[in-house]
Structure 1
Amino acid sequence: MNSEIRLRKAETEDRDAIWDIIQQAIERRKQDGSTQWQQGYPNLGTVESDIEKGFGYVMTVDGEIAVYTALILNDEPAYSTIEGAWLSNGEFVVVHRVAVDRKFAGQGLVKKLFDLIEDFTRSQGIQSIKVDTNFDNTAMLKILESKGYSYCGEVFLAGGMRKAFEKIII
């Protein structure tokens, strides 16, 4: 089975589907015993703001939304202070709020998402990708490791310390 997988900007009409996927992810994190996303963030306002600002992206499988993420260019104030050091100080894409629809869970789609984000970053002529995650988000930590991201240190974000990673793309 060869599905068509695409990464595209989220549209206003995607909002409800995206919010549903994020709510599933919040619940999954809770069941995993994680503290990430358990304090009322991200919320519907976050999604609406992402879409409005053009940060929201969806990865579709045969036209159906499977994964949501926010891609932000050069702008994450929390990243200006790191306990550690980034690999570079050029332009970067920040990856936030990765969430997979339960129907598509366990299919390796987040790894595929990171491939598409690398393509996007390269096509924009941007030097690197920066991402952070919770200490207890073992699934994401494994993905970042498998994709060749370097652990750079810790950043303070959304009320807690996060592990920060970077990968040089060009």
Structure 2
Amino acid sequence: MDSEIKMRKAETEDRDIIWNILQQAIERRRKDGSMQWQEGYPNLNTVEKDIENGFGYVMTVNGEIAVYAALILNDEPAYDNIDGAWLSNGEFVVVHRVAVDEKFAGQGMVKKLFDHIEDFTRSHGIRSVKVDTNFDNIAMLKILESKSYTYCGEVFLAGGMRKAFEKIII
């Protein structure tokens, strides 16, 4: 039987589950030798602010939270200064803080998440999705490549240079 996969806004009662998933991801990055997320960000306060601001989204598998991501519309000041060039200057969805529960790791969940994010973007009539990641986050770089995101240059974010990508959706 196929699993039912849905994306929805995160709610206050999801907070502890989301924070647990993020902590797993922080530890996974550390074990992979990545510098990403090793300086006390993201933290529980980040999660609370995401939920409060309506940025937090979860992807559920049969009702169980499998993936967390923050989706922010048109607002990432760091993206104003790109060493390179974006594909578009219109409205965009920014994807931040993607984290997968260990239980669901290795099941292509982030690819499915990006499908949902692209549907979300399209349904809101928004032109593109922009995302950045650490140069040493190999897993995410591979996913972005597989989902046909275009490398646009580098942005300075959270104390470091990040590779920035964009995909035109509509």
TM-score range, shorter-chain basis? Answer: over 0.9
SS of the residue corresponding to residue 42 of structure 1 reads: coil
Runs of 4+ in 1 over 6 A off after TM superposition: none
Deviation at 1:14, TM superposition (A): 0.1
For 2:87 and 2:81, how far apart are their aligned partners in 1?
14
Post-superposition CA distance 1:31-69 (Å, at most 9, x none):
000000000000000000000000000000000000000
Within 5 A, what are the aligned runs for 1:19-168? 19-168=19-168
Matched AA of 2:161: M
SS of the residue corresponding to residue 68 of structure 2 reads: strand
Matched AA of 2:29: R
For 1:2 and 1:68, how far apart are their aligned partners in 2?
21
Q: TM-score, normalised by structure 2?
A: 1.00
Partner of 1:7: 7
For 2:142 and 2:104, how far apart are their aligned partners in 1?
18
SS of the residue corresponding to residue 6 of structure 2 reads: strand
Matched AA of 2:141: L
Name the Cα RMSD after superposition: 0.3
SS of the residue corresponding to residue 111 of structure 2 reads: helix
SS of the residue corresponding to residue 33 of structure 2 reads: coil
Deviation at 1:149, TM superposition (A): 0.2
Matched AA of 1:98: V
Post-superposition CA distance 1:82-125 (Å, at most 9, x none):
00000000000000000000000000010000000000000000
Post-superposition CA distance 1:144-164 (Å, at most 9, x none):
000000000000000000000
Can you give the 5+ residue segments of structure 1 that lack an aligned partner in the other structure?
none
Matched AA of 1:15: R
SS of the residue corresponding to residue 36 of structure 1 reads: coil
For 2:52 and 2:4, how far apart are their aligned partners in 1?
26
SS of the residue corresponding to residue 49 of structure 1 reads: helix
Can you give the 5+ residue segments of structure 2 that lack an aligned partner in the other structure?
none
Post-superposition CA distance 1:132-152 (Å, at most 9, x none):
000000000000000000000
For 1:163 and 1:32, how far apart are their aligned partners in 2?
18
For 1:51 and 1:154, how far apart are their aligned partners in 2?
28
